[in-house]
A and B are shown apart, each in its own frame.
Chain A
Amino acid sequence: MIAVVGLLIGIVGGLLLQPTVPTELQPYLPIAVVAALDALFGGLRAMLDGIFDDRVFLISFLSNVVVAALIVFLGDQLGVGTQLSTAVVVVLGIRIFSNAASIRRHLFKA
């Protein structure tokens, strides 16, 4: 519950504060957000599996964000920035889909 409240607080804060993203970080923020969403869905699924651990959740959240941003940064340096960014988004999307499928199977048994 607190997680949902925290999410709402974050959304409201973002709407009120309206910060501008620094230019250097602008290509990485969407990737980081998708990676964090993936970690969130993973946590949700682990909770439904009954194996939720807050330490693992925190570490996976942070590592997902950092690793995704690192991969995109590396791709930019190598000159394949758009392709690697696409690949990262695709893979994160696949993971989100599989986690969502597990959640759905738990909740709706279908």
Chain B
Amino acid sequence: MTMNDEQGQDVGADDTDVGRPSPLEVYDALNEPRPDLAGPVTNDDESPLAAAAAAELARAEAIEQSLADAIEEQAFDVPEVDVDESPPDAFDDSAAADLGPGAEQGTQDGPEDRPGADADRPDTDPDATDHAAWEPVGGDETRSAQGGVEDELSGAALAESASPGPDELRIPELSAEPGAWSVLGRALKPRMTRAQVLAGVLCALLGFALVVQVRQAAGADLNSMRQQDLVRILDEVTNRGDALASESADLTRERDQLLSGSDRRQAALDALRRSAETQGILTGRLPAEGPGVAVTLTEPDGLIKPVTMLEVLEELRNAGAEAISLNGQRVTASSAFTGTAGSVVLDGATLSSPYVWLVIGDPDTIDPALQIPGGAMAQVRLNGGQGEVEQRDNVQITALRVIPDPVFATPIPLSGD
């Protein structure tokens, strides 16, 4: 592993010192909890001896920690599914075992070395890597550089853990592990040391930057984005705008069609209504009013014949009368005069003098038409009657006549239907 190179110290030299305590003695000595375990290992010590002692202490303690970890791994069943957990575990152990003096924090940067180390390892399943942590791996240069004692220690520990069984080895585990909470508790006590102040300053910076970034992200707008993002957003917005424009054109066209269709329908309805009114007036279904004439026929010297009445009617029609009523009866296309002189019957109703014709039409046309020499009025006078034509500006004909539907006649369909 290359972590040791950061510290620039050659760890291998210490391993060959004569008179070092055996690993088991060290282990026993380290079993007692030390209050300074969690304290920062500073480099402020002046004497090299103290520095060396501190280094030795730290290293041995790291070895103990890695031992405890390995025992824990062995004790628990380790078919760990999370890939990101077991490699760091294995690398924790190897990293801790690899530590030189000076208490480096290589494990902080540990995971970044992992991809390289991973490639070196032949097998990648979790159980194998746990054991691989304890075995000298061929591709691991620093491990081989560190040499014998580390491997002996790992081998001894492995042998220890392998032979007795996991239960007996829980004891050292229990004495090592609860230290984590106490470590945390001790760390939380405020102490005015350089490390604490430094950490405080850095955490203040971090908190400040965190809040600033959260605020800035909450109000993020376009002018903080990268050009690529902006180009992408522009493309998306343009495409969306085009799609919306085409949809809008479609909808407008559809609306226009619907409107014009309804207009046509409205126009058709209006035309139908006018046609119905016209037909109604002409057929006598609807009352009508308008300018016209009122013709009054009396019989001072004789009796008016039905044929004379017919002549008057025909003269009125010829003069453009649009609605005609006689003595309160509407005269229509199917009206007929029957009966005898003196008792003219119009559509089954007997009429009696005076005969009052109400005519809607152009008065200036109807009046002279009736007065033509040899016309209808002359015929009335021949019959011994007398007629008066009075032009009026408003003639109201309220008499109605309902014509029954034809029984025999049917309309001829228009060509093209």
- Interface 1/0s, chain B 102-117, versus A by CB < 8 A? 1111011111100000
Selected from B96, B183, B200, B223, the residue in CB contact (under 8 A) with A48 is B183
B61 (CB) vs chain A CBs: closest residue: A50
Chain A residues with Cβ below 8 Å from B112 are 91, 95
Chain A 10-51: CB-based contact to B (< 8 A → 1; otherwise 0): 110111001111010011011011001101101101111111
Contact for B200 among A3, A29, A101, CB less than 8 A: A3
Q: Which residues of A contact B229 (CB under 8 A)?
A: 82
Check if A50 sits within 8 Å of B62, measured CB to CB. Answer: yes
- Cβ contacts under 8 Å, A105 to chain B: 89
Contact with A along B179-210 (1 / 0, CB 8 A): 01101100111111011111111111111111
Within 8 A of B (CB), among A54-110: 54-58, 60-61, 76, 79, 81-82, 91, 94-95, 97-99, 101-102, 105-107, 109
Check if A48 sits within 8 Å of B180, measured CB to CB.
yes
The answer on a CB contact under 8 Å between A56 and B104 is yes
In the bound complex, what is the Cα–Cα distance between A102 and B207 (angstroms)? 23
Chain A interface, >50% SS class: helix
Report Cα–Cα, A26/B220, bound state, in Å.
Answer: 10
The segment from B35-43, B131-139, B154-162 found at the interface with A is B35-43
Q: Is the CB of A11 within 8 A of B207?
A: yes
Known interface pairs A10-B205, A27-B224, A51-B62. Does A43 touch B105 (Cβ–Cβ under 8 Å)?
Answer: yes
A residues in contact with B225, CB < 8 Å? 27
Asked if B20 CB lies within 8 Å of chain A CBs, one says: no
Question: A30's contact among B84, B203, B207, B213, by CB below 8 Å, is which?
Answer: B213
Chain A residue total in the interface (Cβ 8 A) = 63
A9 touches B207 (CB 8 A): yes
Q: Which one of B65, B88, B213, B217 lies within 8 Å of A98 (CB-CB)?
A: B88
Interface string of B56-95 (1 = CB under 8 A from A): 0010011001000000100000000010110011001000
Residues on A with beta carbons closer than 8 Å to the beta carbon of B217: 30
Contacting pair A51 B109 (CB below 8 A): no
B22-69 contacts to A, CB under 8 A, are: 37-38, 40-43, 58, 61-62, 65
Give 1 or 0 for each of B142-169: 1 = CB within 8 Å of chain A CB: 0000000000000000000000000000
Q: Is B238 an interface residue (CB 8 A)?
A: no
How many residues in B have their beta carbons less than 8 Å from beta carbons of A? 69
A58 touches B198 (CB 8 A): yes
Chain B binding surface, main DSSP class: helix
Report chain A residues within 8 Å CB of B61: 50
A95, chain B: closest CB distance, angstroms = 5
**How many Å from the CB of A72 to the closest CB on chain B?**
10
Known A1-B188, A49-B107, A56-B104; contact A14-B207, beta-carbon cutoff 8 A: yes
Check A14–B215 contact: CB distance below 8 A: yes
Residues of A within 8 A of B104 (CB): 51, 53, 56
B240 at the interface (CB under 8 A from A): no
Set B40, B65, B102, B180: member contacting A54, Cβ < 8 A = B40
Residues of chain B at the chain A interface (Cβ within 8 Å): 37-38, 40-43, 58, 61-62, 65, 72, 82, 84-85, 88-89, 92, 96, 99, 102-105, 107-112, 177, 180-181, 183-184, 187-192, 194-213, 215-217, 223-226, 228-229
Interface on A for B, CB 8 Å cutoff? 1-11, 13-15, 18-21, 23, 26-27, 29-30, 32-33, 36-37, 39-40, 42-43, 45-58, 60-61, 76, 79, 81-82, 91, 94-95, 97-99, 101-102, 105-107, 109
